[in-house]
Amino acid sequence: MAERLAYLLDRLGRAVHNLQFTDGLNPAQWGALRFISRAKPATCKPSALADYLCTTKGTISQTLKSLEIKGYIRKIAETKDRRVVRLVLTEAGRVMLTRDPLWHLEAAAAEMSDEITTATRVLSQYVKKLQGECGFKPFGVCPECGHFSGNICGQEGVPRCGLTGEPIAAREIEQICETFLSATN
């Protein structure tokens, strides 16, 4: 059964990869657009993107250059330290993301209704295990993070990051973070 699961995941991975050669973009470029739209501002930088996509800084540099030329992203230097670059989507980038080819996956998952919760739980465990074994950074969102403390906005108290001690803005709660700590680590 384990062999069958590994085979299916390999087939799924190849299908997902091939789906993303569309609208003049490749899988890495689509991955970069998604990351930039979902990452916290402090995480939205080229080095974190390279870790997120499990690739090299050189490859990411080419990916970002291409997206910049196409007008989908911009690089903004931090005011405190001009050497630090933040990535932002342009309006054209936001429009392009509405054509994200991964909607095929969402549509297929939505049809599973009853099984989707179980599938999500099992795949989450699988991804977590593989990331740990391969030494990849986990990334994740505040409510699932081992550093998270406080209450969710709207309830009593202020959500806070236990790593920095800083309050977490409501809009950032569900954004991807580079310093995420897997809760069972």
Q: What's the closest the beta carbon of residue 20 comes to ligand SF4, in angstroms? A: 27
Q: What's the closest the beta carbon of residue 50 comes to ligand SF4, in angstroms? A: 18
Q: What's the closest the beta carbon of residue 127 comes to ligand SF4, in angstroms? A: 16
Tokens of 49: 């993107």
Q: Which residue in this structure is represented by tokens 């599973």?
A: 112
Specify the residue, 68 or 144, whose C-beta has the smaller distance to ligand SF4.
Answer: 144
List the one residue out of 176, 126, 124, 170 whose CA is nearest residue 151.
170
* Residues 152-181 close enough to bind ligand SF4 by CB under 6 A: 161, 163, 168, 177, 179-180
Q: How many residues form the binding site for ligand SF4 (CB under 6 A)? A: 10
Specify the residue, 99 or 137, whose C-beta has the smaller distance to ligand SF4.
Answer: 137
Q: What are the C-alpha distances in Å from 65 to residues 21, 29, 39?
A: 18, 10, 19
- In a 13 Å sphere around the CA of 2, the CA atoms on its Cβ side amount to 1
List the one residue out of 62, 174, 180 whose CA is nearest residue 131.
180
Specify the residue, 71 or 132, whose C-beta has the smaller distance to ligand SF4.
Answer: 132
* Residues 130-149 close enough to bind ligand SF4 by CB under 6 A: 142, 145, 147-148
Q: Exposed, middle or buried, 106 (CB in 10 Å: 0-12/13-18/19+)? A: exposed
Q: What's the closest the beta carbon of residue 37 comes to ligand SF4, in angstroms? A: 17
- In a 13 Å sphere around the CA of 77, the CA atoms on its Cβ side amount to 5
Q: Which residue in this structure is represented by tokens 């230097």?
A: 77
Q: What's the closest the beta carbon of residue 132 comes to ligand SF4, in angstroms? A: 17
Q: Does 39 bind ligand SF4 (CB under 6 A)?
A: no
Residues that bind ligand SF4 (CB under 6 A): 142, 145, 147-148, 161, 163, 168, 177, 179-180
